Structure formats: structure tokens, C-alpha cells
């Protein structure tokens, strides 16, 4: 992600984009570090995913016919239908889900899910 961001030549794209990466990657690609320690729990392991409301020029650069798998972790409110609404968004966009896991929520975070 840092390398892709560093190679863009459009200043407006570069100003509107960000990469989550190591400080080493920021140093290598001469990028500004906007914030550090952005994880919500200390044992996080970050993988990279490009999200946005508009198409990204980076996706077209790295388009491949090889199927891609992505792991995504999210929480839903404890209300009727909230899980269904979240998962149906994948189907409406033609995305296949091959695995679904329920993970325990740490006790100190329970209040945030309701």
C-alpha cells in the first residue's frame, strides 16, 4: 500500500489517500506518518485492504484474474437483523463468502456493541 501510494503522480489522489503500514515502509517510500498506534487492542496484526467510495486507480494497476481471498473482522449491533443486513451487502455486490466465524468480544468492549 505504501509503495502504491508513493508511485502515484496525481497530487489530488495522493492528498486524498492513505496507507496503513510500518514506519519502515514510510521511510523507504518517503511518506508522511499521520498517526501511530492506531489499533484498538495491542495484539492486532494488520493486513492491508483498499476501501473507498469511488474507484481507485490502484485497483486497475494490480488487476489480476487470480481469485483473491480477504479476511474481514467486524462487529454488528445486538439488534434483530443486523447480521443479515451486514452479510447481504456482500451478496448484493456479487461477493462470495466462503467462511464465517463468530469471535468472542472482550468484556471491556461489550458495551460498545449494543
Domain boundaries, the chain: 2-35
pLDDT per residue over 70-114, tens digit each? Answer: 777 788 888 999 999 999 988 988 888 888 888 877 777 666 544
Q: What is the pLDDT of residue 57?
A: 61
Q: What is the pLDDT of residue 29?
A: 82
Per-residue burial over 47-64, b if 16 or more Cβ lie within 10 Å, else e, is eeeeeeeeeeebeeeeee
Helices (H) and strands (E) in the chain, counts: 5, 0
Report field, pTM of the whole predicted structure over 0.75:
no
Cα–Cα dist 61/57, whole Å: 7
Q: Is the pLDDT of residue 51 over 50?
A: yes
Q: What is the pLDDT of residue 40?
A: 77
Amino acid at each position: 500500500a505504501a509503495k502504491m501510494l508513493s508511485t502515484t503522480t496525481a497530487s489530488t489522489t495522493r492528498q486524498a489517500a492513505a496507507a496503513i503500514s510500518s514506519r519502515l515502509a514510510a521511510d523507504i517510500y518517503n511518506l508522511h506518518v499521520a498517526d501511530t498506534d492506531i489499533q484498538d487492542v495491542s495484539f492486532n496484526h494488520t493486513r492491508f485492504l483498499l476501501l473507498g467510495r469511488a474507484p481507485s486507480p490502484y485497483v486497475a494497476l494490480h488487476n489480476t484474474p487470480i481469485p483473491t481471498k480477504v479476511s474481514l473482522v467486524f462487529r454488528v449491533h445486538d439488534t434483530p437483523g443486523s447480521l443479515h443486513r451486514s452479510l447481504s451487502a456482500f451478496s448484493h455486490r456479487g461477493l462470495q463468502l466462503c467462511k464465517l466465524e463468530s469471535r468472542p468480544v472482550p468484556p471491556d468492549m461489550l458495551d460498545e456493541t449494543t
